[in-house]
Amino acid sequence: MLLAKCVLLLVLQVLSCRGEFFSSTSGLEKLFETEVVLLAELQNYVNEINQHAEALQSEIDAIRVEHLNAADGIDDYLNNPVNAFRLIKRLHSDWETFEGSVTADSSRSNYLDTMARLKENLSFPSQDDFVGSAIALTRLQQTYQLDVAELASGILNGVKYGTAMSWQDCFVLGQHLYALRDYNHTVPWLQQSMQLLGEQSYGSESASLDFMEAVVEYHREMGAHESALSLVNHVLSIEPDQRSHLLEARQQLEELITDGDKNGLLHLTARRPGDYHGSREFRMYEQVCRGELAPLPSKQRSLRCRLRKSRLGYAPFKLEELHLDPLVVQLHQVIGSKDSESLQKTARPRIKRSTVYSLGGNGGSTAAAFRTSQGASFNYSRNAATKLLSHHVGDFSGLNMDYAEDLQVANYGIGGHYEPHWDSFPENHIYQEGDLHGNRIATGIYYLSDVEAGGGTAFPFLPLLVTPEKGSLLFWYNLHPSGDQDFRTKHAACPVLQGSKWIANVWIRERNQDNVRPCDLERGQEISLNYRDFD
C-alpha cells in the first residue's frame, strides 16, 4: 500500500527548472549527465538510511534499468522520443518527490544540501522543455498516425526502439495535454495510463481505484462518455460493494451514450476557421511525410541519374534528378563522415533555438512553435569544412557564393520539425538595413547525419519526400527566372521519429547571379500562382 501511494504521488509533483533542451537532441546529453549525478547522490543517501530505503530503492532500480539500456549506445537511447520524454519527465517531476521522501528523516540534511549545490551547477529542463517534449510526442502520433498503446510501449512505426512508458508517464502526458486544451489527444493517453495502472500488482488496491475514480471525472468533463463508462465498470468489477455510489454515475453515462450526447470540452474545441493545421495543404504535408502521397510514375519516367563534372577538380558529382519543374536535385556522397562530424562538433557549443523571419515588419527574427530545432551560423571562411561546403555548391550550381548567407548548422530535437514554408521572401518583405543582396534564389541542404525514421524534407505540392542521407546535398531554386517566387517550392522538415537529424542550410541570394540564371523577358510565374494561397 505504501508503494502504491508513493507512485501515485509521483504524478502530482511538478518541478520548475531552467534551460531549453527539447528542441535539440544535442542538449539531452547534459540532462542525462545530470541524472547520473543525481542518481549517485540519491544512492549515497539510501545507503545511509537502509531502514527507509525500500520505496526509494524501487525507483532507483527502475532508472538503473534505463541507464543500462542506454549503455550500449547513448546516442540511440537519447534520440528515441519516448526515452527523451521520460528523461525530461523524471528530471522535471520525479526527483522532487525523492527529495520530499527524505524530509522527515533526521539524516536528510546532508542529502538536501548536496542537492541544492548540484542544482546550481547541473542542467535541468524547464517547464517549456517539459511541455515541448509532450507536444512533440503528440506531433509524432498525429503526423505518422501512431497507435498510442504502441508508442507507450516504445514501438515506433512497428519497430521496438526503447523502454516502455509507465502509467505515470502516460498520465502526466495526458494531464498536460488537458491543461493545453488538446482534449483529442488527452483521452487516449489517459486511457492508456489507466490500462497500465490496472495491470500493476497494486492496480486493484483502494488507492489505485481512488485514482481511477478521479480520472473518470476528467473523461466526463471532456464528454468522453465511453471512456468514463469503461473505467467506472472496471472499478465496480473490483469493489462492487464499496463503490456502490458509482452505480448512479454508470446509469447517467449509459443514458448520455444512448442519447448521443455531444456536450463536453471535446465538442467545444473544434478548430477555428482558418486554422492552418486543419487545411488541405497541411494534410497533404502529413501525407507526404508518411509516404502516402508521392509523384506519379508518369512524372518520374523522365528523371535521370548522371555524373556531373566538377569545374574545380573535385570528383564528379553523383546527381539524381528528383523533380524537373521546379528543378530539385540530390547530389550523393558530396562530403565525407569526417567533415560531417567536424561540422557537428563545431556547432554544438554554439547552437541555440532556431528562429524564423518575423512577420512584424522589422526584418528581425523570432522563435516559433512551428520550427523546433537549434542551430548556429558560421561564415564560410570559418574552417576547412565550411569552406568545402561553399566550394561544392558554387562548383555544382555556378552561383556566386559571395552572395550567400552565412552557413546555418541545425540539429532537430524530440519530434523536431519545421512546418511548410518558403525559403524565399514575400514581395512585402522588409530587408534589414544594408541588405542589398535581394531574395533567396536557391537553397542547398547538406544532410550531416542519417535519420533512422522520419525527418525527411517534404514538398507538399510536388509531392516529394527526400530522405536524409548523410553526406548528400539537396538543391533547388526558390525563384522563377523572372525573380518571382516559385510557390511550388514550399517545403517542410517532417518530424524526427527516431534518431538525430543534423543539417547545414545554404541560402544563396539573387544579386549578381545573372550570368548563371539570366532573367527571362516574360515573368512566367503563372504556373505557380495557384499554390500561393492554397487551402
Annotate 401-456 with DSSP letters as a single string: GGGBPPEEEEEE-TT--EEEE-SSPPTT--PPTT--S-SEEEEEEEE-S--SEE--
Whether 312 is in a domain gets the answer yes
In a domain, 379, yes or no: yes
- Which of 267, 288, 321 is at the close of a domain? 267
Cβ atoms 80, 161 nearer than 8 A: yes
Task: Answer yes or no: do 116 and 132 share one domain.
Answer: no
Helices and strands counted in the chain (H then E)? 20, 19
**Do 384 and 490 belong to one domain?**
yes
For the ranges 23-27, 345-349, 464-468, the lowest mean pLDDT is seen at 23-27
In a domain, 57, yes or no: yes
Mean pLDDT, rounded, for 451-462? 97
Distances from the Cα of 385 to the Cα of 335, 341, 447, 456, 476, angstroms = 9, 10, 14, 24, 22
pLDDT band (50, 70, 90) for residue 239: very high
Residue 288 placed within a domain:
no
Residue 337: per-residue pLDDT: 97
Q: How far apart are CA 222 and CA 111, in angstroms?
A: 42
Task: Report the CATH number at residue 193.
Answer: 1.25.40.10
Check residue 270 and give its pLDDT: 60
Contact between 43 and 35 (Cβ < 8 Å): no
| Furthest CA-CA distance within the chain | 87
**32 and 172 in one domain?**
no
Most trustworthy range by pLDDT among 10-14, 61-65, 343-347, 368-372: 343-347
Q: Where a domain ends, among 267, 284, 319?
A: 267
- Please check whether residues 140 and 98 belong to one and the same domain: no
Query: Quick one: residue 74, left, alpha or beta (phi over 0 = left, psi -120 to 50 = alpha)?
Result: alpha
How far apart are alpha carbons 322 and 304 in whole angstroms?
A: 8
Summarize the confidence of residues 502-516 as an average pLDDT. 95
3-state secondary structure of 293: coil
- One domain, residues 480 and 454: yes
Does one domain contain both 138 and 257? yes
Say what the pLDDT of residue 10 is. Answer: 40
Q: Within a domain: residue 331?
A: yes
Range of the domain at 164: 127-267
pLDDT in tens, 135-181: 999 999 999 999 999 999 999 888 888 889 999 999 999 999 999 99
Distances (CA, A) of 278 to 88, 275, 283: 30, 6, 7
Return the number of other C-beta atoms located less than 10 Å from residue 101's C-beta.
18
Q: Decide if 494 contacts 457 (C-beta within 8 A).
A: yes
Cα separation, 17 vs 449, in Å, equals 31
- Domain membership of residue 497 (yes or no) is yes
Statement to judge: residues 109 and 191 lie in one domain? no
Q: Is the pLDDT of residue 18 over 50?
A: no
462: which 3 cell numbers? 510536388
C-alpha cell at 229: 463508462
User: Which positions ≥6 away from 71 have C-beta within 8 Å?
Assistant: none
Q: Are 409 and 466 in contact (CB under 8 A)?
A: no
CATH number of the CATH domain containing 335: 2.60.120.620
Over 60: is that where the pLDDT of 1 sits? no
State residue 272's pLDDT score: 67
Please write the tens of the pLDDT for every residue from 52-97: 777 778 888 889 999 998 888 898 889 899 999 999 999 988 888 8
- Asked if pLDDT for residue 43 goes beyond 70, the answer is yes
How far apart are alpha carbons 150 and 156 in whole angstroms?
A: 7
Q: Residue 439: its pLDDT value, please? A: 96
What number is the average pLDDT over the span 291-318?
A: 95
Q: Residue 6 domain-assigned?
A: no
Inform me whether the pLDDT recorded for 203 exceeds 90.
yes
Give the closest residue to 376 by CA, choosing from 286, 208, 503, 524. Answer: 503
Give the total number of structural domains in the chain: 3
Which of the four pLDDT bands, split at 50, 70 and 90, describes residue 365?
A: low
Residue 74: inside a domain, yes or no? no
The answer to whether residues 433 and 526 belong to one domain is: yes
Q: Which helix (H) or strand (E) holds 173?
A: helix 167-179
Quote the pTM value: 0.84
Residue 103 scores a pLDDT above 80: no
The mean per-residue pLDDT over the stretch 222-245 comes to 96
Pair 108, 134 in one domain: no
The verdict on 356 and 463 lying in the same domain is yes
Mean per-residue pLDDT over the chain, rounded: 89
Q: Are residues 335 and 357 in the same domain?
A: yes
pLDDT class of 340 with cuts at 50, 70, 90: very high
